[in-house]
Chain A
């Protein structure tokens, strides 16, 4: 993939990651500036500079409030959720040895959403109750839902150490339909404002992001993402097959469980914070592999960065296209992702035939 370039693998990796990192920072700055309440770019820099102790004149307090209390947490949560979806997609594709795997398609997201909704119904009077339960209990419950579903799909679709694409997608379709129906049913009967809307769960919404969600997001998405990045060697070996990975000295069962748990945690917590956002986990690892090769040492961190970029771009569009109203963010990711998915099916059919 890097033929013709006479630089070492390490510096190539550093180059790709810093380019993505810079792109992410730029899109975040742009995102801070644009929106229903436009803040000029110079003010954005001034307000941010003030936070780091640089005192600059002419900082508008209301602009600073919008930026620091509304936009910044939203952008950072979007960074973590998008990055998490990207890296979880990459890891799950590696584990299933199947490039069509995506947390949304195979039912991890809807499993998480279902469990999150059920959690709210099971714990009555939650709306006003302790923040700890809501802030920590729901994400963890959503994680359990995601884990249950990903485990079920994994067992269903695996035959002789490989996953069959058709079974995988069909299992995902079935689980998505069932979880969707159960979510709808729960929402219909439980008239609780804490449940939010069906749109929130099925198409996602970053609008509820605030600093209060940040600790959960950074610890239950950020840290697991870093832990997944360290699994690159195992995921590389697994792309040869489970038998081969075992021959190469990898404790396959342990590695599989670890990757499933970390991915389900990232996706589940993301869903509990912002609902189901589809296709990020599908598109991102693909673009990275097409552009920079298949080595998971690069694919995993790069997928995190590109996922963060993509979700911030999508969120920026969701906020600005029909401003002052907002589009559900899942609409945008699906608009990009679904055609891409169809293209992938075509491409894989061509390879297989």
Chain B
């Protein structure tokens, strides 16, 4: 399990993350939601080991993050940033190979094949990365990140993704999240920062909502998604409706409803 307990982080005495506790189980997708400036990125960086928290601690499979060497950490968790640039003319396959762990000689060919098939980039392998479309780049990066933790190990691994879909169109967003769903059988736990509430509701097993450096709510979609909590957290009126066909929760944030809610708020006051 990836577990963060009571973590706290300040920049110039100003707390960015306060007493946040969060955990990711192997085989689940945890989506982290929250408005801009809520502390999601800082929380993400603490979990990834880029910065260390002022207080509290982060454990990977029961081992304290601080006690892990950079390379040990890399065998337990991989990180997918929002968008990555590659500064030299590498081919797509070469970019994927960059992610290979240092000690993987034996199965590397098979593993490369598997992740490239999973992320549907096999046909791109000889193309130059710099010439790919946004969606293709993101999938190549996903393959590069996955190869790092693909090899089956006696311990679970974790994948952290920071808004990987923010620059993708709708179909590409679903392609990426569908790939993540398939990682459950690999004993990999996924933590993904998302902006799209519907996407999160559709794919995540659990959801954590961050507001002002605190975890405002965590649990299954139906436990966390409430109109009052979401409206409060995002400071915008949000309505939940059920899709007639799939019975899934849909999040609506249209402005016609906006004025209505404002009025009712005033009435309450």
Which A residues lie at the B interface, using CB under 8 A?
1-3, 94, 97-99, 233, 236-237, 239-241, 243-244, 246-251, 289-290, 293-295, 351
Contact = CB atoms under 8 A, between A and B. Distances in A.
Contacts of B144: 240
A318 B178 CA distance: 63
A237 B98 CA distance: 6
Interface in B48-75: 48-50, 70-75
Q: Which DSSP category, helix, strand, loop or mixed, fits chain A's interface?
A: loop
B50 A243 contact: yes
A99 B86 CA distance: 12
A293 B94 contact: yes
B90 interface: yes
Given A3-B126, A233-B102, A240-B84, A289 B89 contact: yes
Contacts of A294: 88-90, 94
Contacts of B48: 247
Contacts of B95: 240
Contacts of B91: 1, 293
20 contacts: A1-B91, A98-B87, A99-B87, A233-B102, A236-B98, A239-B88, A240-B86, A240-B95, A241-B84, A247-B145, A248-B148, A249-B70, A249-B71, A249-B73, A249-B102, A250-B70, A251-B71, A293-B91, A294-B89, A294-B90
Contacts of B70: 246, 249-251
A243 B84 CA distance: 10
Contact of A241 (B85, B88, B94, B126): B85
A247 B90 CA distance: 19
Contacts of B217: none
For chain B, give the interface size range.
20 to 34
Contacts of A295: 90, 94
Contacts of B90: 239, 293-295
Interface string B186-207: 0000000000000000000000
Contacts of B130: 351
A99 B89 CA distance: 11
A249 B98 contact: no
B2 interface: no
A244 B81 contact: yes
A247 B101 CA distance: 11
